[in-house]
């Protein structure tokens, strides 16, 4: 496409002599080649911007830097790039309505209109599937489970018995919803399993990444509220509550009965112990370990995690501990 056509699509301004540049693909700043369009939206990528071989780059209005590529100036480069992306990517895969002959759908299950049920799917008795849902190959829906409208289960995702899934929920490959919570008591010289009789409730517009697990409650429910997005390889223990519009990055682990507020961000490999409460809008940095309650609007980091200001101060002191140790030794020698 011509650069002028792309500029019109997102309301961008550009140098008049750049309108006829041909754009044939999209790429990151580092990977772009002539013919590609890229975008710059974060100052930490300024070095990549200066070296980029892209033919054109979407940039913010405040940028004042001479560059070789043609510049498309917009208010939000990332949003503009996202709007252009569908013009260059392959069409979305279609999932025609119908039930594959190899699927096993109980006659006591209910399917909404226009559902797509692929090969080797199992839907057990009493399950209710909403309208326009897509269940890809080898997915499993347990007895008396309810799934809302417009949900998508990728291959090998599983929702066990008596769970409740809202509308527009996406479960990627290998997700397991409703496995038993990890509950045991040591009695008579052995670990005795505690029955996990509760359920899992997942509200609207939740997305859960590949090979993540959400355990059922010991009693009551494990609850993930609307709009929360969960990365791959995340473990959520029994009776955990996660609030609205949270972000959980890869390899987060949350122990049982922890309660997390709204708009919380847990970075990669964060670990939370059980029976603690995290307030709203809390951010916890990567690889942090947390074992106590955190009030709202707090940034935590470290293992054990502490408020970010304290962590920075303590880290600076810790870096100099060898020098301090040497000075103390010298003073001890002088003091005899």
User: Which residues is 37 bridged to in the sheet?
Assistant: 26, 56
Q: Average pLDDT, whole number, for the chain?
A: 95
**pLDDT score recorded for residue 66:** 87
**pLDDT score recorded for residue 167:** 98
Domains recognised in the chain with CATH numbers? 3-87 (3.40.1390.10), 98-310 (2.160.10.10)
**pLDDT score recorded for residue 319:** 86
**pLDDT score recorded for residue 27:** 96
Q: For the range 41-47, what are the long-range contacts, defined as Cβ-Cβ under 8 Å and sequence gap of 24 or more?
A: 41/76, 41/77, 41/78
> Quick check: 204 and 166 in contact, CB under 8 A?
yes
Whether the full predicted model's pTM is greater than 0.85, yes or no, is yes
**pLDDT score recorded for residue 65:** 86
Closest by CA position to 81, among listed 137, 121, 36, 22: 36
**pLDDT score recorded for residue 148:** 98
**pLDDT score recorded for residue 132:** 98
Give me the phi and psi of 300, to 5 degrees please.
-120, 150
**pLDDT score recorded for residue 93:** 87
- Distance set, CA 166 to CA 96, 110, 171, 318 (Å): 22, 16, 12, 48
Q: For the chain, which residues score pLDDT lower than 50?
A: none
Q: Which residues does the annotation mark as catalytic?
A: 238
């Amino acid at each position: 496409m011509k650069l002028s056509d792309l500029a019109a699509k997102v309301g961008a301004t550009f140098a008049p002599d750049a309108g006829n540049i041909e754009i044939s693909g999209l790429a990151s700043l580092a990977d772009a080649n002539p013919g590609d369009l890229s975008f710059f939206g974060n100052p930490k990528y300024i070095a990549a911007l200066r070296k980029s071989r892209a033919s054109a780059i979407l940039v913010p209005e405040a940028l004042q830097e001479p560059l070789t590529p043609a510049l498309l100036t917009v208010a939000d480069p990332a949003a503009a790039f996202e709007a252009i992306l569908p013009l260059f990517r392959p069409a979305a895969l279609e999932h025609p309505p119908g039930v594959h002959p190899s699927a096993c759908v109980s006659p006591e299950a209910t399917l909404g209109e226009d559902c797509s049920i692929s090969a080797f799917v199992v839907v057990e008795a009493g399950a209710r599937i909403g309208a326009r849902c897509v269940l890809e190959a080898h997915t499993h829906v347990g007895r008396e489970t309810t799934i809302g409208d417009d949900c998508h289960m990728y291959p090998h995702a599983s929702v066990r018995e008596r769970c409740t899934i809202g509308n527009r929920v996406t479960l990627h490959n290998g997700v397991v919803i409703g496995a038993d919570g990890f509950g045991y008591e040591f009695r008579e010289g052995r670990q005795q399993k505690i029955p996990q009789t509760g359920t899992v409730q997942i509200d609207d517009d939740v997305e859960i990444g590949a090979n993540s697990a959400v355990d059922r409650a010991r009693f009551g429910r494990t609850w993930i509220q609307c709009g929360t997005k969960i990365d791959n390889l995340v473990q959520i223990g029994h009776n955990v509550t996660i609030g609205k519009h949270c972000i959980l990055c890869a390899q987060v682990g949350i122990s049982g009965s922890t309660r997390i507020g709204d708009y919380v961000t847990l970075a990669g490999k964060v670990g939370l112990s059980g029976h603690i409460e995290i307030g709203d809008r809390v951010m916890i940095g990567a690889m942090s370990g947390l074992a106590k309650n955190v009030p709202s609007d707090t940034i935590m980091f470290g293992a054990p995690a502490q408020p970010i200001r304290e962590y920075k101060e303590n880290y600076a002191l810790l870096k100099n501990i060898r020098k301090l140790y040497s000075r103390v030794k010298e003073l001890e020698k002088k003091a005899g």
